[in-house]
């Protein structure tokens, strides 16, 4: 089944935008290439927009409304989609993550999914009261295969000290998980740094997020209690990039972070 056939406009505003984009293009008997000229995009980018693999930018929505006289339809749809939680967030986020060449992750609550051991991932799912735990853990483990494929992504990861200090799943689970962090931190493409508690109040306390670079473009996944959302506008991404840099100013260097992880691991007995 193609990505376009998987679109569900009844449950996702982003999917509705993709469907409407194709419908309005076909009503005007325009080819994908012709629409690309209007939006200053190539044909493959238009195809990804219509299949929901890439989200429509607000600047492109404004161009469509002007060119097609759609009474700000696309601009309003994009604004509402950005404001709310997309029920299909995981699909979009996962598809971008597996294609990303670079990932910048700030995590305030948990070990990032890409770094979790199976036991830790299971404890997280159980603690959250989730269903289908085996399936969820299997998906998480599958995501990690990206780290060991040819041309793996470059990762810059920063964790609040509370992430490594908070017991999850028991002492042995935490020891194994922290050992896993130390192991990954030795990889040439991975950097793990800790923001110590003594850093006090800082911009990262507002919540966790992940900046993904795909084909030279950046998007941000922002975590929420239920679901999440993707920010794709250049202005939004620029704000999160600045936040990531400011959090980095408070983080320990890589070697000092490794020492703190080792010390914390030794306390779990």
What is the pTM for the complete model shown? 0.71
What is the per-residue pLDDT for 196? 97
CATH topology of domain 89-112+150-267: Endonuclease; Chain A (3.30.870)
Q: List the chain domain ranges.
A: 13-83, 89-112+150-267
Cβ distance 100 to 147 under 8 Å? Answer: no
Nearest to 178, CA basis, from 205, 159, 199: 159
What is the per-residue pLDDT for 225? 56
> What pLDDT, in 10s, does the model give residues 24-78?
999 999 999 999 999 999 999 999 999 988 889 999 999 999 999 988 888 888 8
Domain 13-83 -> CATH class: mainly alpha
What is the per-residue pLDDT for 71? 83
Largest CA distance in the chain: 68
Tokens at 217, concatenated: 């473009």
Regions of the chain where pLDDT drops below 50: 1
What is the per-residue pLDDT for 83? 62
């Amino acid at each position: 089944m193609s990505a376009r056939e998987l679109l569900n406009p009844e449950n996702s505003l982003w999917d509705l935008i993709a469907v409407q984009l194709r419908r309005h293009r076909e009503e005007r008997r325009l080819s994908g290439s012709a629409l690309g000229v209007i939006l200053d995009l190539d044909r493959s980018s238009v195809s990804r927009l219509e299949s929901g693999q890439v989200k429509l930018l607000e600047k492109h929505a404004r161009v469509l409304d002007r060119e097609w006289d759609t009474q700000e339809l696309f601009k309003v749809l994009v604004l509402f989609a950005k404001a709310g939680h997309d029920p299909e967030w995981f699909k979009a986020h996962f598809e971008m993550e597996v294609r990303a060449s670079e990932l910048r992750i700030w995590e305030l609550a948990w070990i990032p999914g890409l770094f979790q051991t199976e036991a830790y991932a299971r404890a997280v799912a159980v603690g959250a009261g989730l269903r289908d735990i085996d399936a969820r853990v299997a998906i998480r483990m599958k995501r990690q295969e990206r780290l060991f494929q040819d041309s793996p992504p470059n990762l810059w990861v920063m964790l609040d000290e509370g992430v490594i200090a908070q017991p999850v799943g028991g002492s042995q689970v935490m020891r194994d998980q922290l050992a896993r962090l130390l192991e990954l931190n030795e990889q040439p493409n991975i950097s793990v740094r800790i923001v110590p508690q003594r850093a006090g109040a800082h911009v990262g306390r507002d919540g966790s997020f992940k900046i993904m670079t795909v084909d030279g473009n950046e998007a941000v996944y922002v975590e929420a209690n239920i679901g999440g959302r993707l920010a794709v506008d250049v202005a939004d991404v620029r704000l999160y990039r600045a936040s990531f840099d400011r959090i980095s100013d408070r983080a320990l260097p890589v070697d000092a972070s490794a020492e703190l992880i080792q010390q914390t691991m030794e306390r779990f007995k």
